Structure 1
Amino acid sequence: MSKSAKKGILLIQLGTPDTPTTDDVRKYLTEFLMDSRVMDIPYFSRSLLVKGVIVPKRAPRSAATYSTIWSEETGSPLMHYSELQRDMLQLELGDEYHVELAMRYQNPSIESALKKLEVMKLESLRVIPLFPQYASATTGSVIDKVMEIIRCWQYFPALSFVSSYCDDEEMIETFAENGRKHDIDAYDHVLFSYHGLPVRQLGKVDCTGVLKCPDFGCEECKVEKKPYCYLSQCYATTRALVAKLGLNEDQYTLCFQSRLGKTPWIQPYTSDTLHQLAERGVKKLLVFSPAFVADCIETLDEIQVEYANEFKSLGGEEVAMVESLNSHPKWIQVLKRLALNN
């Protein structure tokens, strides 16, 4: 901890189990799914569903999956890359700043990170959720938790949050640069696969107060970036990447992965898209996952293993995953700009 630091930067990622054991995965899933912004149903119903049904079934399977991506040297990929991002950003900002990393769920907790920052009597604190597209279940939950904890402080530094950066030009260029490491023309189709959300959560941030949103989003979402509409920001990210890569409309598809339960989630679903592309005779897919700034279980397993196997079972030949931003120097420059732009 730098004694001269007067400005704090708090990077917050979603979270990861402490170890790939069933017990630790159970703790992680329970904390994650019991967040009312993630599973936005009444507490009693949420508790019965999460603790009585979902977690007991998913924890052993998820633990087995985490074991396949865990490294003996570096542990959780998400934690490894997040720590690299923290350390590289600290070097860029210098001694005037102190950079902390927290996970919204599990460790290091937001509470523990804020305790370290509180004793520094900071002039300012900048919170950067590591989610390019705003959603109440991610960025909203992070801001909610930070405010819950910091309101107990006896002093308040100048506090600011980054709510979204879905079409940041340098971030888009970094994703595109990683994509160009592949021979894009050698693939039959490009997928932009984002983490999904229940449709009802989109309606809740509609400024008109209308709590209904089509499963595929309204037409405005596809052409206009809205401040708190996750779907419109996914489209904005995709438009920027498509322009940067020079793709035609028939060369790519935007879709959504990781749905849970029977309630409608935003569509098209990645799984359904794989089936449709296979029926068209598509054999080779290149996949971007621009909702994640660090490789994690959703990219390393869900896409590279689960979806790849599903596509091959349908007659496809290859699913190649574009690596996430991870420790790319240009991404660290994006974080530096977000940290300095108060």
Structure 2
Amino acid sequence: MKGVLLVNLGSPESPEPKDVKPYLDEFLMDKYVIDVPYLLRAFLVRGIILRKRPENSSNAYKRIWTDEGSPLIVISKKMHEKVKGRVDLPVALAMRYGKPSMMSGLQELADKGVTEVMLFPLYPQHAMASTTTILVLAEELRKKHFPQMTFTIVPAFYNKKDYIQNLADSIKKHLEGFEYDQLLFSYHGIPERHIRKTDVTKSHCKIDGSCCNTPSPAHEFCYRHQCYETTRQVVEILGLPKEKYSQTFQSRLAGDKWLEPYTDVEINKMPEKGIKNLAVVTPAFVADCLETLEEIAMEANHQFKEHGGENFKFIPCLNDDEDWMDTIAKWINDWAKN
């Protein structure tokens, strides 16, 4: 029997420091997120980062928390319900960190007699710190608890026609009536070393401005290439000239070099370049979360206007958009027929 496990990032159970701290510990201690030896990772995370970060993150979460709970969890549950209503096989929801756990999601499917699982990471682009860690944990759980199961992995869908059309349509809809000078595609950042680590050729990724445009097997797992390709295809559908859009990377941490250009730095420069009306979309996410709602819709908005910007338009993620839900259901139904 076939079934589906939708997997998103996760969220603390509440915005209070007591719940934010264990969530951050689970997240940051993941060797695919902070990819250094365990003892060094433990020193950095538990000896340094978790001393102040939970309080700061708690304040950020409190700014976006709703009466229903964490926006990421609330939206993911809405997506889950809508997808379930569109397909004829069991669909479970899980988070890589926090609850509902991947263990509980797989158990839910197993209890319904599912032996063939479509493992569906809800990330358009492939990255170590998102997709890889989901796949690794899923396989560990399968071997230990569900040896009768087999997995079919949904690959990064950054360039799938249906997804690109959904994204372009959503952008167009939210830009209606907004006279913008620039549309910014802001993707979640990752350390440059992650790009090199996921290079299956071990030689292609130079991050030099040309490698992402040069065909290579490395592109199957190259987050940077996939981000630029998503932008390229959406821009093509929207018919935007080069001067009307740009691309950046957000959410960097101090330390090693992360993918550039940086969202906050570029946004702060825009008003002096004559960009007074800015629209921002965040295509690395399919559900709005801390990084989109607090970092972009609130903080980037504030900084843009502090530096002389006039109008800021935040374009929501696809979330539980009906056309997007139809697309996910179509992918599932196509797989179910095989």
TM range (shorter): over 0.9
> 1:82 aligned to 2:76?
yes
**Aligned to 1:147, which of 139, 153, 164?**
139
Deviation per CA, 1:38-89: give whole Å up to 9, x if none: 11011111111111211221111111111111111x2111111100111111
Tell me if 1:240 matches 2:233: yes
CA distance in 2 between counterparts of 1:213 and 1:166 reads: 21
Higher mean displacement: 298-307 or 118-127:
118-127
Q: Superposition pairs for residues 137-286 of structure 1, below 5 Å?
A: 137-153=129-145, 155-180=147-172, 181-183=174-176, 186-210=179-203, 213-214=206-207, 217-222=208-213, 224=215, 226-286=219-279
User: Residue 38 and residue 211 in structure 1: after superposition, are their counterparts in 2 closer, same or farther (change >3 A)?
Assistant: farther
How far apart are the structure 1 equivalents of 2:268 and 2:164?
Answer: 28
Mapped partners of 1:341, 1:144: distance in 2: 25
For 2:159 and 2:177, locate their aligned partners in 1 and report how far apart those are by CA, in whole Å.
Answer: 21
- The 8 Å contact of residues 162 and 338 in structure 1, kept in 2 or not, is answered as no
- 2:126 paired residue number: 134
| Residue identity opposite 1:178 in structure 2 | S
Cα 1:272–1:335 shift into 2, 3 Å: same
* Identity of matched residues, %: 36
Q: Classify 1:154/1:298 alpha carbon distance in 2 versus 1 (closer, same or farther; 3 Å).
A: closer
Q: Decide whether the 8 Å contact of 1:200 with 1:211 is kept in 2.
A: no
- Once the two structures are overlaid, the 10-residue window that deviates more, 332-341 or 110-119, is 332-341
Q: Mind listing any 5+ residue stretches in structure 2 that lack a counterpart?
A: none
Letter in 1 for 2:244: Q
Distance in 1 between the 2:240 and 2:214 partners?
17
Q: What is the CA–CA distance in structure 2 between the aligned matches of 1:312 and 1:337, rounded to whole Å?
A: 41
* Normalised TM-score (structure 1): 0.93
Gaps of 5+ in 1: 1-5
Match of 1:33 among 28, 53, 57: 28
Q: Which amino acid is the alignment partner of residue 160 of structure 1?
A: T
Please state how far the C-alpha of 1:212 moved relative to its aligned partner.
6.7
Deviations 1:220-242 (A, max 9, x none): 31465811000000011101110
Residues 206, 52 of structure 1: CA spacing in aligned structure 2 closer, same or farther, 3 A cutoff?
same
Match of 1:22 in 2: 17
Q: CA deviation at 1:169?
A: 1.9
